[in-house]
């Protein structure tokens, strides 16, 4: 009974281990969603946003009632001496030195204060809230940036896989030609030079294939690093190149564009708002501020250290008041600060207009680049298919003795060149599409 049970447990463990080693299927959307949770730049932007929210709460707390407690112990080694006119002690014309107080003193107190009016605080509260919104917008921009970065790195990994697949298909053709030519050489219908030429072409092809396989590993590691995934995780790309190229093509080209809806314009708009609040704050600094306070203390005065004796008296002290601070003269520094803030408002106003034009320019450029990349891709695809046909026909002619090994070598080089252009055109098209999607806020 023990052996079958042990065997079943071993099989179950092996099955679980096999499941755990199954590569993680990852579409381009999966990769982007993973990066939204684990990408370093997004997490860092969210930390900044949270810090800005806490800064707002901190500033709000300044305007709420403040309460502080204190306790102080003093031991006078030498009591303070005062000089009093002798008339008070029946010694006219003489100064009398007297010491007031006792050497042991403890004072405990509470102080409460409330800000009644401060223009800078009110403006600062508005600015802190605007700053929190600005950080939220920066999170949105960071998310859009990392989505584009993830898409581009996913494209690299896809292209690396496609390149390997195409090279493996071409290798099969060359290997078949080499087998046939070797057989013809044995029968005396081919020359040794023809076999050597095919081996040379196949060696070059194998080198390219080995390099392509290494690129698959490197590009997948880069993708995992970008999205914050451990490099030890095995992944399998589930989105194909064709799916990525064909998806939403018509809808994208018909999408409306509004430069004021881009995150860059919104950030510039928030920056202008921050500068306007800064100007308002500089003007508010010329206004008076008003605060109220209340202080309660109790004091023990002893000749000896016996403060724990509850039968001895403690003497209370209470007071309250209102304090008004009025700015009068600052040597012109406040006026210069207002002028400087006005300059920054003007600068950000011009920056906002510039950002709007830059967004329109980026849209125009992205759309043209996308359409051009599509045309180049179609042309490169046709060229690659023609090069493959030429290679196949040259191989047939070579086996029939009509073409030479030089023709095969030339057709092989032509096929490699066409394949490289085709692969590059796919990468450029997918990246151009991603750039266009970002420009129209659909990434």
Q: What is the rounded CA–CA span in Å between residue 355 and residue 267?
A: 10
Does residue 12 surpass a pLDDT of 60? Answer: no
Q: What is the rounded CA–CA span in Å between residue 290 and residue 56?
A: 22
Mean per-residue pLDDT, 6-33: 69
Using one digit for the tens of pLDDT, what is the confidence trace for 180-215? Answer: 888 878 887 778 888 888 888 899 989 999 999 999
Distances (CA, A) of 134 to 41, 207, 269, 290, 359: 16, 52, 9, 31, 19
Task: Give residue 428's pLDDT.
Answer: 94
Give the number of other Cβ atoms within 10 Å of residue 259's Cβ.
17
CATH architecture of the domain 25-62+118-287+329-439 equals Up-down Bundle (1.20)
Using one digit for the tens of pLDDT, what is the confidence trace for 417-440? Answer: 999 899 999 999 999 999 999 999
Task: Give residue 118's pLDDT.
Answer: 85
Using one digit for the tens of pLDDT, what is the confidence trace for 49-58? Answer: 888 788 878 8
Opening angle at CA 325, ends 320 and 331, nearest 5:
160
Comparing 127 with 229, which gets the higher pLDDT?
A: 229
Using one digit for the tens of pLDDT, what is the confidence trace for 374-397? Answer: 999 999 999 999 998 998 888 888
| pLDDT bucket at 1, cuts 50 / 70 / 90 | very low
Using one digit for the tens of pLDDT, what is the confidence trace for 327-370? Answer: 888 788 888 888 998 999 999 999 999 999 999 999 999 999 99
DSSP 328-365: ---TTHHHHHHHHHHHHHHHHHHHHHHHHHHHHHHHHH
| Domain range annotation of the chain | 25-62+118-287+329-439, 67-83+98-116+289-326
Using one digit for the tens of pLDDT, what is the confidence trace for 235-272? Answer: 999 999 989 888 888 888 888 899 998 999 999 999 99
Task: Give residue 10's pLDDT.
Answer: 54
């Amino acid at each position: 009974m023990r052996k079958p049970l042990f065997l079943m447990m071993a099989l179950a463990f092996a099955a679980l281990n096999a499941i755990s080693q199954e590569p993680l299927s990852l579409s381009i959307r999966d990769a982007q969603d993973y990066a939204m949770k684990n990408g370093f730049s997004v997490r860092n932007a969210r930390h900044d946003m949270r810090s800005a929210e806490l800064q707002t709460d901190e500033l709000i707390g300044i305007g709420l009632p403040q309460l502080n407690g204190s306790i102080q112990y003093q031991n006078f080694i030498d009591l303070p001496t005062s000089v009093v006119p002798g008339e008070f002690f029946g010694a006219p014309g003489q100064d009398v030195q007297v010491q007031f107080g006792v050497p042991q003193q403890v004072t405990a107190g509470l102080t409460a204060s409330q800000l009644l009016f401060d223009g800078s605080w009110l403006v600062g509260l508005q600015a802190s809230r605007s700053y929190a919104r600005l950080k939220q917008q920066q999170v949105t921009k960071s998310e859009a940036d990392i989505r584009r970065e993830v898409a581009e790195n996913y494209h690299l990994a896809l292209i690396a896989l496609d390149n390997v697949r195409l090279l493996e298909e071409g290798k099969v053709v060359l290997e078949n030609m080499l087998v046939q030519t070797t057989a013809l050489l044995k029968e005396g219908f081919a020359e040794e030079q023809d076999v050597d030429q095919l081996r040379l072409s196949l060696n070059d092809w194998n080198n390219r294939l080995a390099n392509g396989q290494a690129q698959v590993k490197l590009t997948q590691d880069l993708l995992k690093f970008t999205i914050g995934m451990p490099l030890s995780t095995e992944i399998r790309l589930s989105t194909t190149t064709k799916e990525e190229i064909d998806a939403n093509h018509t809808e994208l080209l018909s999408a409306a564009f509004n430069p004021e809806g881009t995150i860059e314009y919104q950030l510039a708009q928030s920056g202008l708002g921050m500068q306007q609040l800064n100007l308002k704050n500089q003007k508010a600094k010329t206004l008076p501020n008003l605060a109220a306070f209340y202080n309660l203390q109790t004091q023990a005065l002893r000749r000896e250290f016996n403060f724990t004796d509850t039968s001895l008296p403690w003497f209370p002290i209470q007071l309250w008041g209102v304090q008004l601070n009025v700015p009068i003269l600052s040597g012109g520094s406040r006026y210069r600060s207002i002028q400087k803030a006005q300059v920054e408002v003007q600068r950000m106003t011009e920056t906002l207009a510039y950002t709007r034009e830059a967004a329109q320019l980026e849209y125009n450029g992205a759309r043209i680049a996308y359409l051009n990349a599509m045309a180049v891709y179609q042309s490169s695809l046709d060229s690659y298919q023609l090069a493959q046909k030429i290679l196949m026909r040259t191989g047939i002619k070579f086996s029939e003795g009509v073409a030479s090994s030089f023709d095969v070598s030339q057709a092989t080089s032509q096929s490699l060149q066409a394949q490289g252009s085709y692969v590059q055109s796919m990468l450029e098209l997918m990246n151009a599409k991603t750039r266009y999607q970002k420009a129209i806020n659909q990434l």
